[in-house]
Each structure stands twice: as structure tokens, then as C-alpha cells.
Amino acid sequence: MVAQELDIEKELAEILSESISAPFLFIGSGFSRRYLDLPDWKGLLTKFSTSMPFDSYLGTAGNDYPTAALALAGDFATEWWKVNKDKPEIYQSKNWIHAVETPLKYEISQYLENVEIVSKVEGDSELKELLSSDVVIDGIITTNWDKLLETIFPKLNVYVGQSDLFFRNPQSIGEIFKIHGCCSNFSSLVLTKNDYENFNSKNAYLAAKLLSIFLENPVIFIGYSITDTNITDLLGLIADMMESQEQLERLAKNLIFVTRPDDEKDQLESVLMTVGSKKLYFTHIRTHDYSKIYKALQHSERKIPVHLLRALKEQIYNIVKTTEDADRRIAVKDFDEATAENSELEFVVGVGVAQNESGERIGLNGVNSWDILRDIILDHLPFSDSDILTQVLPELSKQNRTYLPVQKYSKANPTYKTQTNIQSTLKELLGFDIEHYKKKIPTSVARQFDKAWTFEEIIGLEKVGESECSLNKRIDFLALWLINNPTQQNCDLLKQSYLSTEFDNLKSKGDASTFRRLICILDQIENKIL
């Protein structure tokens, strides 16, 4: 039998579908080397090592690049001032800082500013997939200094360093965060030991911003080694800010590294990384063909282009922020009614779903995925299972491609899944079996599970070995317990003694995909197996 080739595009798309937020890209120097043929950090500094080879600086610095860069900057400045002392138009510019590093930063920025980008980007088959209008990302973080990313994504707003965040209005949608500076402002470059010390000590606001992104969005690292100190130090800083094991697991689940394999075979694995004082398991994808990564970003659906979504968010922010002409700017009524009464209405927005005067959502259009999850437990929705299957689940399945329970509703209309025009994502969900969800439970958790545990013992677990029994781990233990003990009595016990009373707590404090997976397993056993 021939082994089935790993489908990286499909695997990554499935991972991303488990998140309610679109991914961020975290772009490193390898990205610019790949598409612009720019040198890596060592190659760039070697280019400006005029007094002696850069390896000499590196050896003296104990292979510490920021320290080596600082020593190089000192020698470079001595030579630079000899040549440029009569050019005040340079060193009297508004960006000029009289520090030893400044001449080197200036020349590096000049070099990067003059790199031809457009001709190299046009026609590149991989970047063509990244440039597709179907790509869904929330934004980009980068340590690169060049302008490749703003060229590729001209509609995204660019923020350079922490100072930019203070004086502007970032929305965390449709933005490029250049956290180590940009060649457009040479004084912003984070290059030497002094720069890194300043960056680490004074970037509390930026760290908080990144923490929010890392917890809420999948983050795909492209152009970095998994041992890159820029990344391990940053992740260590963020990991040490985690207040609970649940937050740490949530962070790890969002980390996806893309690198090239040693051979020609695509690989996907879970890898343990030590960051700061913490250990994290992250997803590691190895492939030579990055178009597979970019195509995976096209599987999610966003009805509003990201730059328009950002503009929309800014407009809502401004409406809330100001009271000027409030009677003309805010309408709390149906669109048709509002526009008929007021021709000068500036902006109309609907948030949520239609409600009646009592605050109750109207009709099947008001049903969301959390309503479906709750319905598996409580059977509370005032609609037929068949109507939910045919009118609600096709649309919900587009945004919830893995962890949306559907068997309860399929049971009410068993012939529906045989129809040829069924929504493809719903068809796939209907075809999943219990093994599909079992394989999604982390191997590290499955190894710790004891088949002899009772429901009560799992609920009462405080530790597993020497480690704390986190909420997410408890949820997966309950899933494994139910898989190993698939009876209606146990299904009822799980629903009545845990899920029905803890639903809101699990929804808010647990990892969403872990919680959703448990309910999908419950749905599989109760409606497809029993």
C-alpha cells in the first residue's frame, strides 16, 4: 500500500478553522531572503564590516550578534565621519541621533531603501497565492526592516515600533507591526545590544499588544528558525505574563512555525520548545512549497475585505468617542425605517442579530454556533432539528469546519446528507466519525489519561503527576472517558452533572476548540453510535 502524501494545505486550513479569529503572520528575515534575495543578519553586517571581518566581531562577542553589531557600529562610525563630516544635510536631519550606532543604521537603511521590490514580486508563483483576494489574515508582525510587506499589502496600515502605537489608533485588524523598526526611519532600527536592551525594557505597551494578539489569533511564523533568539525571547516574555495553565496552553495552541525540511517531504509535527521559564508544544510545519501555506489562508470566509473592516472599526470607534451631532450619527432602528425618516443619515451599522422588543433573537437567522453547542446539552432551541440542519448548519459550517456538532440534526433528516447540492463544509462535518475527534486530542494529554478513572475522579482531579490539572486537560479527560465508556447513562451524567451547569464557565475560561471537541464527541456517541 502506498502511503498517502501529507496534505499541508488541508491540515493547516483545519487547524486555522478551529479558531474564531483570523491568523496573524509573523514574518522574519527568511521571507525577504526568499523573495528579494536579501542577506541574512550576518550577511548584512558583513557587508558593512570595513575595518575587519565581521566574524572577528562575532568571535569577540561570544557569538552574540547584538554585541557584535555594537562593536562594529563603533568602528564603522569612525570611518564614516571621516568621509561624511562635510555633509550636514545628512546628520542634521530630524531622524539623526548622535549615537555611535547611527551612521551604521543610516547606511543600512539607505541600502534597503534602494532594493528593487516590485520587479521581484511580480510573477512570483508563491506570492501570487499570498496576494489572492481570498487570503484571510488579521494582520502582520515583523522584525524585518525592508519594505517588502507594505509593497505586497499596500492597503494595510503600518506601525513602526512602540511610539507609533502611542500616537495612532491601532485596531488589530489590517495592520503591519514593524516591531524592530523600518528603513524609512533609520533611527528606529533595533540593531545593537543597546537597542535590544532599550526594546526589552521600554516596550510594555507593545508587549501587551502582542500578548492580546497571541492569545486571540493563530500566529504563523514564516522566515524564522525555531531557535531564533528574536522569537524565543519574545515568546518567553509573553509566556511569563501568563496567569494560568489554561492561558499558557491557549498560547501554545496558537503558535505555528513554518520552515523548510531537510529532504523533499512535507512534515507536520508537535514540537516542545523552552521559552523563558516555560515549556510549550507548538505546531511545526516543514515544506519547500510555501504556496501551500498561503492557499490554506484562503479557506476561511470573510465577507468584508480587511482594509474595509478596519475602516468600519475605526468609524464605530469614532461614533462612540464623540457626541457631536449624535442625533444624525446614530440610528437604533431597522435600516429601511431609519433611511426613510432621515436622508442625512451618515452611517448605519447592525451589530448582532435582529431582536424583538423583549431582547429575544428572531428566527433561525439568530442561531449561532454556541446555541448549537448548548442545544446538544439542553435541547433548548425552539426549532425543529431538520430545519436547523437545512437552514442554519450550512452557513455555520463555513466558519466552524471542525468542531460543530451536526449528528443530532442529521438524525432528524437522514436523507439530507445524500443530496448532491449540500454545502461542502457541512458534508465534511457529517462524514466525521468518533476517531476523527479522538485523534485531535493532544498525544501528551492522552498519555496521562487513566482508563480506570470514573467521572467523579476526573471532576475532582487537582493534579496529574506533578502538574496542575488544567481546565482544558480536564475537558479532554472527560472526552476520553466518554469514548471509553459510551453509554446513554454516561452521556446523561456528563450533560446533567457538568456541562449544563458549567457551560458559561467553560465557554469563557476554557480553550474554545477543546470545549467544542468534547461536545462533538458527545454528539457523535449519543446520535451516531448509540
**Spatial CA neighbour of 189 closest among 262, 296, 107:** 107
Tell me what the mean pLDDT of segment 449-461 comes to: 94
What cell does 498 get? 457538568
Angle between helical axes of 512-524 and 369-378 (0-180°, round to 10)? 50
Question: Which stretch of 103-112, 283-292, 348-357, 409-418 has the lowest confidence by average pLDDT?
Answer: 348-357
Instruction: Give residues with Cβ within 8 angstroms of 27, minimum separation 6.
Output: 140, 141, 142, 143, 144, 149, 222, 223
Please tell me which residue, 417 or 293, carries the higher pLDDT value.
293
C-alpha atoms less than 13 angstroms from C-alpha of 140 in its C-beta half-sphere: 28
Q: 298 pLDDT exceeds 80?
A: yes
d(CA 256, CA 286): 11
Handedness of CA 71, 76, 77, 78 (dihedral sign): positive
SS3 274: strand
Q: 218-275 pLDDT, tens per residue?
A: 999 999 988 888 888 888 888 887 777 777 888 888 999 999 988 888 999 888 888 8
Question: Which stretch of 93-107, 337-351, 430-444, 463-477 has the lowest confidence by average pLDDT?
Answer: 337-351
Using the structure block, give the residue that is written with the C-alpha cell 474595509: 308
What cell does 93 get? 536631519
d(CA 353, CA 334): 12
Computed over every residue of the chain, the mean pLDDT equals: 84
* Predicted local confidence at residue 211, as pLDDT: 82
Looking only at the bridges linking them, the beta strands covering 139-142 and 463-464 are unpaired
d(CA 402, CA 13): 10
Range list of β-strands (E), 57-195: 139-142, 157-160, 175-178
Burial class of residue 523 (count of CB atoms within 10 Å of its CB; 0-12, 13-18, 19+): buried
- As a whole number of angstroms, the longest Cα–Cα distance in the chain is 88
Please state the φ and ψ torsions of residue 269, each to the nearest 5 degrees: -150, 160
Looking only at the bridges linking them, the beta strands covering 278-286 and 255-259 are parallel
What cell does 142 get? 515583523
What cell does 230 get? 528574536
**Spatial CA neighbour of 13 closest among 268, 236, 214, 228:** 268
Encode 379-402: b = buried (16+ Cβ within 10 Å), e = exposed. Answer: eebeeebebbbbebbebbbbebbb
* Predicted local confidence at residue 229, as pLDDT: 85
What cell does 81 get? 565621519
**Spatial CA neighbour of 222 closest among 142, 313, 111:** 142
Tell me what the mean pLDDT of segment 90-99 comes to: 86
| Alpha-carbon separation of residue 23 from 174, 190, 273, 477 (angstroms) | 11, 25, 21, 28
Single-letter residue type at 404: L
Using the structure block, give the residue that is written with the C-alpha cell 446528507: 417
Please tell me which residue, 317 or 427, carries the higher pLDDT value.
427
Single-letter residue type at 90: I
pTM recorded for the entire structure: 0.67
* 257 alpha-carbon distance from chain centroid: 11
SS3 143: coil
Single-letter residue type at 373: L
d(CA 448, CA 463): 11
Residue 322: pLDDT band with limits 50, 70, 90: low
Single-letter residue type at 166: F
Q: Residue 250's CB: how many other CB atoms inside 10 A?
A: 20
What cell does 223 get? 522566515
Give the DSSP H or E segment for 250. helix 245-253
Question: Which stretch of 29-43, 240-254, 325-339, 403-417 has the lowest confidence by average pLDDT?
Answer: 325-339
